[in-house]
Chains A and B, each alone.
Chain A
Amino acid sequence: MTDILTLVFRTFSSQTSQKQDPSVGPSPPSLRCTTLVVGEHRLSRSVLLLAAVTAASELGIRVSFFAQTRIQSLPVCLQRCSATLNPEGLKKIAFSYPRTLEELLQQVASLHESPSPPSLIIVDGLDGFLRDPVAGSHAGFHSGEESCAAHLSALLCDTAAFLTEVLEQRGSSSAPCRIIASFLLNVDSESRDSSATDPILVVLDRYFQARCTLDQDRSYEAAAAAAQEVWHIYLSGTKSPEDCEDGPALAQEWKLFTFPDGLMEFKLV
C-alpha cells in the first residue's frame, strides 16, 4: 500500500522534479499491501483522506473508508484542488462510520458480499476502536485488546487477500486490494519514548507489512520554512514472502510542511 502513499506525497509535493522523477515512483503493487500509519491523529486522518481521494480520482479505484467520527471537511489542500479532481472518481469513495469495534468487524466482514468490491480499504483510528471499553465484550471467545487487535487485523488482511483474488479473476487493473489503517500510540505522557512498546502495536505489526510513521519536527525548521509545522514521514517495512525481487526492505523518508492556511506540502528527503 506504500505505492498509494508515495503517490500522495508526490502529488502534493512542491517540487516539480519529484512529481516527475521515476525513481520516486510507487513501489510495485505486489509489495506491502498493508500499511499502518502511526502518528498524531489529526495529521494521520488528513493523510488517509489524501490517500482516499488520490486513489479514487487518480487511480480510479474504489475505496471503503471507515472511521468512528464523521469527516466534516476535506483537507484544505484537497479543497484547493477540487476544481481539478475528477468528481466521478470521488464517487468511488464509500464512507462508513461504525461506532464500535463490533460494527467495524461486521462491516469489514461483509465486504465480500459487495458486487463492486473496493481496491483500497482505509480504517481511520484503529486505537479508538480497539481501546473502546466494550471492545472485548462483543460475542465471541476472545477478550482483551491484543486478541481484538489480532482479529481486526487478520480480518482486514484476509479480506484484502480475498478481494485481490476477485479483482484479478475479473481482470481488473485495480488489483491488488490494499489496506491503510491509522493508529495513535498510547505513549506515556511523561516519557515520549515510543520504544516503550504499545502491546497493541506489537500485535498490529504482525499483520501490517509496512509502517508510515509521522513524527513532528521540534527544531526551528518550521520557522525557517515559514511553515506552521514540519513533520518527518518514515516509510519502512519488510519484504513480503511473495516478493521475487532481491534488495533491501522499504526505507523512505519524506518531510511534510503544513502552513497556517491549511496547505500541506511533501518533500522527499
Chain B
Amino acid sequence: MAAPYWLTKCGRPRNKNYVKMRSLLPAVAEQLFRDIRKIYEETTQIPDDLLIALKFVFGSCALQALDLVDQRSVTCLSSPSGRKVFQVIGGSGRLYTCFLSCHYCPCPAFTYTVLRRNQGLLCKHILAVYLCQAMALTQQESVSDQQMSTMLSGTGAP
C-alpha cells in the first residue's frame, strides 16, 4: 500500500535547530519516533508499517497530527533568554502553545480526552510537535522575552 499523498509531499528537511524533548512517553512511543526520524532522514517518507504503528499507539489523532505536519503547522519560538516553546496552528487556524518538557495543550481535546478521561496520551497538537521534531520539519521563529512570557502564561489575546 503506497503512503498517503500528503506524506510524499513533504520535502527533505533542512532544519538543524532540533530541540530535544524530555522523555515522557511509553518506551514503545519513544522507539517509534526514533524509527520515524531515522527512516525519514534516509527516505523523506514514512513507510506504511510505521504509519500503522503510529495509529495503533496514538489512535485517531495520529492522522490529524500528520495533517498538521504536512501543513507545516508547528513552530518553535525562541527568545533572547534562551527560552523556547512550541506553537501549533490548529485545523481551525487557532494557535496552541505547547511546552518542551512536559505535555500540555490548551485545546479541548487535551482537557477532555487526556486529563479528564485519561483515554489518550496526547492531543493531535502535541503529537504534531513530536512528529515535526522527529522529521525536522519544525519552523523556527524568534520573539522578544516579553512576548515569550505572554505566550507561556497564555494571558495574551488568542
In the complex, the answer to whether B107 meets A141 with C-beta atoms within 8 Å is: yes
In the complex, the answer to whether A146 meets B24 with C-beta atoms within 8 Å is: no
- A157 in complex: contacting residue of B84, B101, B145, B154, CB < 8 Å: B101
Q: Does B148 interact with chain A (Cβ within 8 Å)?
A: yes
Given contacts A112-B81, A154-B103, A158-B101, contact A138 B149 (CB under 8 A): no
In the complex, the answer to whether A140 meets B100 with C-beta atoms within 8 Å is: no
In the assembled complex, how far is the CB of residue B18 from the closest CB belonging to chain A, in whole angstroms?
A: 15
Q: Does B9 interact with chain A (Cβ within 8 Å)?
A: no
Q: Does A174 interact with chain B (Cβ within 8 Å)?
A: no
In the complex, the answer to whether A147 meets B155 with C-beta atoms within 8 Å is: no
In the complex, the answer to whether A241 meets B22 with C-beta atoms within 8 Å is: yes
In the complex, the answer to whether B155 meets A106 with C-beta atoms within 8 Å is: yes
Q: Which B95-139 residues sit within 8 Å CB-CB of chain A?
A: 96, 99-104, 106-108, 110-111, 115-116
Report the nearest B residue to A139, measured CB to CB. Answer: B155
Q: Does A108 interact with chain B (Cβ within 8 Å)?
A: yes
Q: Does B153 interact with chain A (Cβ within 8 Å)?
A: yes
Q: Does B94 interact with chain A (Cβ within 8 Å)?
A: yes
- Summarize B's interface: helix, strand, loop or mixed: loop
Q: Does A185 interact with chain B (Cβ within 8 Å)?
A: no
Bound Cα distance from A193 to B94, whole angstroms: 42
Enumerate 25 A-B pairs (CB-CB under 8 Å) in ascending A order: A105-B152, A109-B152, A109-B153, A112-B149, A140-B155, A140-B158, A141-B108, A142-B108, A142-B154, A144-B111, A150-B111, A151-B104, A151-B154, A154-B102, A155-B99, A158-B101, A158-B102, A162-B101, A166-B82, A203-B115, A206-B103, A206-B115, A207-B102, A241-B22, A242-B23
Could you tell me which B residues sit within 8 Å of A by CB distance? Answer: 22-24, 79, 81-85, 94, 96, 99-104, 106-108, 110-111, 115-116, 145-146, 148-150, 152-158
Closest 10 CB pairs of A and B: A154-B104, A109-B152, A109-B153, A161-B101, A105-B153, A158-B99, A140-B154, A142-B106, A112-B83, A110-B149
